[in-house]
């Protein structure tokens, strides 16, 4: 699938280069014809007709180039991919390859759509050596959704298991452990003293869809994430 996307992108770039080369050639022809007309050479009517044809071709090619460029922008893989976890298992998950730096504050946002009951499970978990619950977002059983930082817990006011897309954001800072939670653009909760002055440790393992009981493993199907999640989710950390 990745090879197919790369091959398609390469073909699009080659076509774009070819069209650009043709445009350059036609523009040189137009310039040459304009110079000829200015010198009063050739038949005026034929020259005018030929120039109109060339300019029409140029316009058409420019439009085609614009369409190709728009198509490349609209078909970026990040805008199309979506993770779906249809069942509670201990083997469906995604592991993020990029490691996280030490963090003293973060904002994490995501789109989620879920119908699972009771609880949607674990959208993500981040474990480090010696601490499996360094950073976890989880909703299981009949408990409300919770965020865990270094095993400290804050309950979040999210209601997302109605089968609709919801946008949620959580912010946190190590200073006084202050946190805020937003659903669909509205702040629903806030608090403090959530793992105050404890920086999120670096070089851990970030897993989507499972709660980790050990570093990178120890998955429990009862805590698995059951929902859809577009890959265009974003998060910022500092």
pLDDT band at 70 (very low <50, low <70, confident <90, very high): low
| Tens-digit pLDDT profile for residues 146-174 | 999 999 999 999 988 888 889 999 999 99
Strands 165-173 and 131-139: unpaired
Poorest-pLDDT segment among 6-10, 176-180, 208-212:
6-10
Residue 72, CA atoms < 13 Å, CB-side half-sphere: 16
Closest CA to 145 of 170, 112, 120: 120
Please give the DSSP secondary-structure letter assigned to residue 1: -
Q: Mean pLDDT over residues 51-71, rounded?
A: 65
* pLDDT-based confidence at residue 142 (cuts at 50, 70, 90): confident
Which long-range contacts (C-beta less than 8 Å, at least 24 apart) are formed by 88-92? Answer: 88/116, 88/121, 88/221, 88/222, 88/224, 88/226, 89/221, 89/224, 90/210, 90/219, 90/220, 90/221, 90/224, 91/219, 92/209, 92/210, 92/224
CA 189, 193, 195, 199 torsion-angle sign: positive
Which DSSP category does 42 fall into? S
Contact by Cβ (8 Å): 47, 35 = no
The whole-model pTM stands at 0.64
- Structure confidence at residue 141 as a pLDDT band (50, 70, 90): confident
Query: What's the pLDDT score for residue 86?
Result: 84
Element (H, E) at 30: helix 2-38
Angle at alpha carbon of residue 54, lines to 48 and 58, rounded to 5° = 140
């Amino acid at each position: 699938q990745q090879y197919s996307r790369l091959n398609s992108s390469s073909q699009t770039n080659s076509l774009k280069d070819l069209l650009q080369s043709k445009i350059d050639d036609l523009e040189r022809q137009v310039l040459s014809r304009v110079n000829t007309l200015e010198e009063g050479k050739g038949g005026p009517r034929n020259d005018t007709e030929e120039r109109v044809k060339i300019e029409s071709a140029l316009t058409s090619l420019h439009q085609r180039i614009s369409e190709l460029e728009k198509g490349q922008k609209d078909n970026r893989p990040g805008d199309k991919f979506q993770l779906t976890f249809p069942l509670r298992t201990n083997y469906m998950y995604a592991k993020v390859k990029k490691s996280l730096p030490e963090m003293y504050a973060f904002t994490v946002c995501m789109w989620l759509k879920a119908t699972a009951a009771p609880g949607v499970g674990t959208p993500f978990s981040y474990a480090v050596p010696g601490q499996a619950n360094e950073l976890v977002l989880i909703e299981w059983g009949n408990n409300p959704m919770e965020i865990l930082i270094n095993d400290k817990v804050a309950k979040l006011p999210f209601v997302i298991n109605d089968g609709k897309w919801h946008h949620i954001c959580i912010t946190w800072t190590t200073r006084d452990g202050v946190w805020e939670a937003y659903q669909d653009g509205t702040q629903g909760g806030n608090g403090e003293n959530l793992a105050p002055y404890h920086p999120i440790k670096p070089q851990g393992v970030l897993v989507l869809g499972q709660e980790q009981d050990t570093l990178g493993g120890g998955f429990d199907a009862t805590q698995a994430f059951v929902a859809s999640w577009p890959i265009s989710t974003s998060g910022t950390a500092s």
